[in-house]
Amino acid sequence: MCPSLATIYISILVLALFSQFSRASAVEVNQAQVPPRTDFGSVACKQTIFEHSFTSSYGVPYVGTYSPPGNCTFTTTIFNISVTSKGRQYDRLALLFFGDTEIWRTSTAMPSEEGIYWSYQKDMTVFDPLLRTEQKVIFDLSNVYTDLYTGAFDVTLEALYYNDRYVSGLTPPDHIYPISALASSQNISSVMSLPDDNGTVSLILPGNVKTATVSMLASGNSAEEFWYTNVPSEYANTFPDNPGWLYGYSPFREIQLLIDGQLAGVSWPFPLLFTGGVDPGLWRPIVGIDAYDLPTFEIDVTPWLPLLCDGKAHNFGLKVVGFDNSVDGKLGTVGENWWVTGAVFIWLDEKSNQTTGGNISSSISPPTFSYHPTVTSITNNNVTTNTSFYFSLAAHRKLSIFSTIHTSTGPKLASWTQDLSFSNIQNMTNLAYNQSLSMITTGSFSSSLSPIRTTYSYPLNLYSFYVIASTTSTLSSVFALIDRSLITKGINLLSLLTGLKVGSESLATRQFGESQYYWNETIVEGTAADTGVTDQWFSFSGTPGLKKNGVKEYSRHLKEVDDAMVLDDEKWESMVVPKTEALPYVEGEPVV
Ligand SMILES: *[C@@H]1O[C@H](CO)[C@@H](O)[C@H](O)[C@H]1NC(C)=O
Ligand SMILES: *[C@@H]1O[C@H](CO)[C@@H](O)[C@H](O)[C@H]1NC(C)=O
Ligand SMILES: *[C@@H]1O[C@H](CO)[C@@H](O)[C@H](O)[C@H]1NC(C)=O
Ligand SMILES: *[C@@H]1O[C@H](CO)[C@@H](O)[C@H](O)[C@H]1NC(C)=O
Ligand SMILES: *[C@@H]1O[C@H](CO)[C@@H](O)[C@H](O)[C@H]1NC(C)=O
Ligand SMILES: *[C@@H]1O[C@H](CO)[C@@H](O)[C@H](O)[C@H]1NC(C)=O
Ligand SMILES: *[C@@H]1O[C@H](CO)[C@@H](O)[C@H](O)[C@H]1NC(C)=O
Ligand SMILES: *[C@@H]1O[C@H](CO)[C@@H](O)[C@H](O)[C@H]1NC(C)=O
Ligand SMILES: *[C@@H]1O[C@H](CO)[C@@H](O)[C@H](O)[C@H]1NC(C)=O
Ligand SMILES: *[C@@H]1O[C@H](CO)[C@@H](O)[C@H](O)[C@H]1NC(C)=O
Ligand SMILES: *[C@@H]1O[C@H](CO)[C@@H](O)[C@H](O)[C@H]1NC(C)=O
């Protein structure tokens, strides 16, 4: 029997009401960020790059084409990603490539049955040469979609173009070369997986490069997702009654850039926490710092130009190493796996055909480590059991590389200098189901490209207490406390070279949270019993290159209680961000 018109009308109405209701109950999951501009109006033009629903997309990225906007004069490009999801699902990682070059790596928020959504805007202007030619777009969001995992991710990527004027003009790079697996012709992501992949590409650069920097992007997965909680390999079996819980290769990680096998710079990475990380209850609806835009680290390789401009092929390699007490030099391999890519950004000397220079000198001291492990055990009835494992691992390293380069403006000194410190103290009891971590990474770099010296600091204090259910008919739980910050003062080299920023900037953000979270091991999902409070302070001040709509100061104070946002105070002025403090349960402050 055919339904009457009235019935159809009512179903449409019910559907419309239902979808409105479900949208209303969906939760917006935020990341505090510096907005790329004060006002998104007055676009010169805009276009949707793709819209795609990621269901069973494991190893099957979206593949499409980007075409530069026709008949549109623009300087600035902003990408706006918007994602919705509804259902049971893990948080996933997504990588956006233009051809073989990765231009954005983002995590998703962790979905829920009520539904989640967010959008995030990223300034893409440093990729200008890629944005003005046709590109193969590869967006790899590997998702699993089954009766158990019912959340798809619906993603829209939009490009907004503005014809902005800049204080000292816009000077984007002339070329961008990928350091990647170069796999776009096979319609797959060009990410390299370390330590298994080679991590190296061979490049021939033009003879007249005047400036070159390398941007590196690296994040840990699986046994390396929580690398900063890993233990030295010789202690991975301290609690045999809890097998597989502790991962080895130490909590120290160094991402290295190698040019023809020689060290050109390093990154001691920011300890990123994804939205399912340690305790998913901590990250809804405020995600962890940088979760929607994983940070890159830039290394000035201008001192290498006398070598790189010789018309021959040179190797650019990325490598990830950890602390290994059993080898000479104490640097060894890491677990499975790190996803890495890089890109070489170059600016040409229009008035010359050939850059030359003197010898490349370097002063590179290997990292120095200070390492103190202690296992405590008890013996009962002639049976010995380890009761706690406490260790501290500190590291320090300095490097500098310099040369004289000759360009059309005459000879000048090119230099790149880094100074880094790291301290990680962990205390594990209760078969390591109780784990406390007190860590800090600090560093500074300076380059002859800028008079500004940049400093940064990443303190992370974390306490977790897990109860893992032995059957699926009971719930597992975690109680977690976190207090951590990201503090930087100085300049991003790519923004400075491109003209997006014309002076020093400072950013400070702190997340301080406590959460009790229960989950079902069968379907990995929270419960109504979950409680938690997270505060985030975020403050920025800078020197934008934009003549109009540049962000000089910005702050945001967010607070969530039991998965709901109870405070969202946003201002176009900076604010005082309180300092991260030590948590209970760990004795000793990290020293750097
Ligand atoms: C380009 O844009 C201008 C201004 O919007 C318009 O007048 C012109 O007709 C356009 N040209 C083409 C070829 O579309
Ligand atoms: C980004 O896209 C979302 C979804 O279409 C939209 O709501 C939002 O206004 C966009 N943001 C900007 C800055 O255009
Ligand atoms: C890559 O994807 C494009 C667009 O979907 C398609 O035309 C092409 O045949 C694919 N190439 C390969 C090698 O799969
Ligand atoms: C990695 O690749 C580079 C460049 O193609 C090559 O020179 C080098 O031998 C390779 N290394 C290994 C360990 O395969
Ligand atoms: C105690 O820990 C040490 C270091 O990890 C390990 O070698 C040893 O086997 C452990 N002992 C017991 C009884 O589990
Ligand atoms: C660069 O090379 C071209 C072709 O060899 C030559 O015509 C030009 O004069 C050279 N320019 C400079 C600045 O040396
Ligand atoms: C460059 O290195 C070579 C070989 O080590 C040396 O003979 C030469 O004196 C050096 N030149 C300068 C300017 O330092
Ligand atoms: C304790 O164990 C050792 C080694 O297995 C054994 O030699 C000793 O007799 C045991 N002592 C007792 C009191 O059981
Ligand atoms: C583990 O942590 C819980 C909660 O903080 C605490 O009550 C318990 O005493 C701890 N157990 C050990 C052995 O440290
Ligand atoms: C966990 O989920 C499974 C599948 O839905 C269900 O059978 C089981 O009863 C749940 N366990 C608890 C403790 O809720
Ligand atoms: C490690 O944690 C335990 C349990 O919380 C605590 O009793 C002990 O003092 C801690 N040890 C150190 C060295 O911090």
Do the domain assignments include residue 438? yes
Confidence at residue 471, expressed as pLDDT on a 0 to 100 scale: 86
The amino acid sitting at 284 is: R
| CA 377 to ligand 5: nearest atom | 1
Nearest listed ligand to the Cα of residue 353: 6
Confidence at residue 457, expressed as pLDDT on a 0 to 100 scale: 98
Number of structural domains (the chain) is 1
Nearest CA to ligand 11 atom 5: 585
Do the domain assignments include residue 453? yes
Do the domain assignments include residue 4? no
Confidence at residue 522, expressed as pLDDT on a 0 to 100 scale: 82
Nearest listed ligand to the Cα of residue 38: 2
Do the domain assignments include residue 407? yes
Q: Is the pLDDT confidence value at 589 over 80?
A: no
Nearest CA to ligand 5 atom 10: 238
Nearest CA to ligand 10 atom 11: 473
Nearest CA to ligand 2 atom 8: 119
More confident residue, 521 or 57: 57
Nearest listed ligand to the Cα of residue 234: 5
38 lines ligand 2 (CB under 6 A): no
| CA 352 to ligand 6: nearest atom | 13
Q: Helices (H), strands (E): how many in the chain?
A: 4, 31
Q: Is the pLDDT confidence value at 492 over 80?
A: yes
What does the block give as tokens for 365?
């001291």
Q: How confident is the model at residue 15 (pLDDT cuts 50, 70, 90)?
A: very low
Confidence at residue 9, expressed as pLDDT on a 0 to 100 scale: 34
Confidence at residue 372, expressed as pLDDT on a 0 to 100 scale: 97
69 CA distance to ligand 1 middle (Å)? 12
Do the domain assignments include residue 1? no
Confidence at residue 583, expressed as pLDDT on a 0 to 100 scale: 85
Q: Is the pLDDT confidence value at 138 over 90?
A: yes
Confidence at residue 258, expressed as pLDDT on a 0 to 100 scale: 98
Neighbouring CB atoms inside 10 A of 48's CB total 10
Confidence at residue 529, expressed as pLDDT on a 0 to 100 scale: 87
Confidence at residue 585, expressed as pLDDT on a 0 to 100 scale: 62
What does the block give as tokens for 75?
């300087």
Q: Which long-range contacts (CB under 8 A, 24 or more apart) does 387-390 make?
A: 387/429, 388/427, 388/428, 388/429, 389/231, 389/235, 389/238, 389/239, 389/426, 389/427, 389/428, 389/432, 390/425, 390/426, 390/427, 390/428
3-state DSSP assignment of residue 46: strand
Q: Is the pLDDT confidence value at 78 over 90?
A: yes
434 lines ligand 6 (CB under 6 A): no
Nearest listed ligand to the Cα of residue 163: 1
Confidence at residue 229, expressed as pLDDT on a 0 to 100 scale: 97
Q: How confident is the model at residue 13 (pLDDT cuts 50, 70, 90)?
A: very low
What's the mean pLDDT when you consider all of the chain? Answer: 93
359 lines ligand 7 (CB under 6 A): yes
Contact 502, 545 (CB under 8 A): yes
Q: Is the pLDDT confidence value at 587 over 80?
A: no
| CA 185 to ligand 3: nearest atom | 13
Confidence at residue 1, expressed as pLDDT on a 0 to 100 scale: 30
Q: How confident is the model at residue 262 (pLDDT cuts 50, 70, 90)?
A: very high
353 lines ligand 6 (CB under 6 A): yes
| CA 361 to ligand 7: nearest atom | 14
As a whole number of angstroms, the distance between CA 454 and CA 298 comes to 12
384 lines ligand 6 (CB under 6 A): no
- Among 45, 82, 161, residue to substitute to test ligand 2 (most atoms within 8 Å of Cβ): 82
Q: Is the pLDDT confidence value at 16 over 70?
A: no
Q: Is the pLDDT confidence value at 292 over 70?
A: yes
Q: Is the pLDDT confidence value at 371 over 50?
A: yes
Q: How confident is the model at residue 577 (pLDDT cuts 50, 70, 90)?
A: very high
Kindly list the distances between the CA atom of residue 305 and the CA atoms of 127, 249, 357, in Å, as whole numbers in the listed order.
21, 35, 8
Q: Is the pLDDT confidence value at 6 over 80?
A: no
Nearest CA to ligand 4 atom 2: 200
Do the domain assignments include residue 3? no
Q: How confident is the model at residue 586 (pLDDT cuts 50, 70, 90)?
A: low
Do the domain assignments include residue 445? yes
386 CA distance to ligand 5 middle (Å)? 6
121 lines ligand 2 (CB under 6 A): yes
66 CA distance to ligand 1 middle (Å)? 21
472 lines ligand 10 (CB under 6 A): yes
Nearest CA to ligand 10 atom 3: 522
Neighbouring CB atoms inside 10 A of 468's CB total 12
DSSP string for 307-342: HHTSSS-EEEEEEEEEE-TTSGGGEE---S-EEEEE
What does the block give as tokens for 229?
């909680």
311 CA distance to ligand 7 middle (Å)? 21
391 lines ligand 9 (CB under 6 A): no
Q: Is the pLDDT confidence value at 60 over 50?
A: yes
168 lines ligand 6 (CB under 6 A): no
Do the domain assignments include residue 378? yes
392 lines ligand 11 (CB under 6 A): no
- Strand 505-519 and strand 476-490: pairing? antiparallel
Nearest CA to ligand 7 atom 7: 359
Counting residues of the chain whose pLDDT is more than 90, the rounded percentage is: 91
Q: What is the per-residue burial (b if ≥16 Cβ within 10 Å, else e) of 253-283? A: bbbbbbbbeebbbbbbbbbbbbbbbbbbbbb
375 CA distance to ligand 8 middle (Å)? 22
Q: Find the domain containing 104 and state its range.
A: 9-590
Confidence at residue 263, expressed as pLDDT on a 0 to 100 scale: 98
Kindly list the distances between the CA atom of residue 16 and the CA atoms of 23, 129, 150, 268, in Å, as whole numbers in the listed order.
11, 44, 22, 50
506 lines ligand 9 (CB under 6 A): no
The pTM (predicted TM-score) of the whole model is 0.93
157-213 confidence digits (pLDDT tens): 999 999 999 999 999 999 999 999 999 999 999 999 999 999 999 999 999 999 999
Confidence at residue 591, expressed as pLDDT on a 0 to 100 scale: 42
411 lines ligand 7 (CB under 6 A): no
**HSE of 542, CA atoms in CB hemisphere, 13 A:** 28
Nearest CA to ligand 11 atom 10: 586
418-428 confidence digits (pLDDT tens): 999 999 999 99
Confidence at residue 61, expressed as pLDDT on a 0 to 100 scale: 98
Confidence at residue 149, expressed as pLDDT on a 0 to 100 scale: 94
433-479 confidence digits (pLDDT tens): 999 999 999 999 999 999 999 999 999 999 999 999 988 889 999 99
The amino acid sitting at 154 is: D
379-424 confidence digits (pLDDT tens): 999 999 999 999 999 999 999 999 999 999 999 999 999 999 999 9
**From its phi and psi, is residue 149 left (phi > 0), alpha (psi between -120 and 50) or beta?**
beta
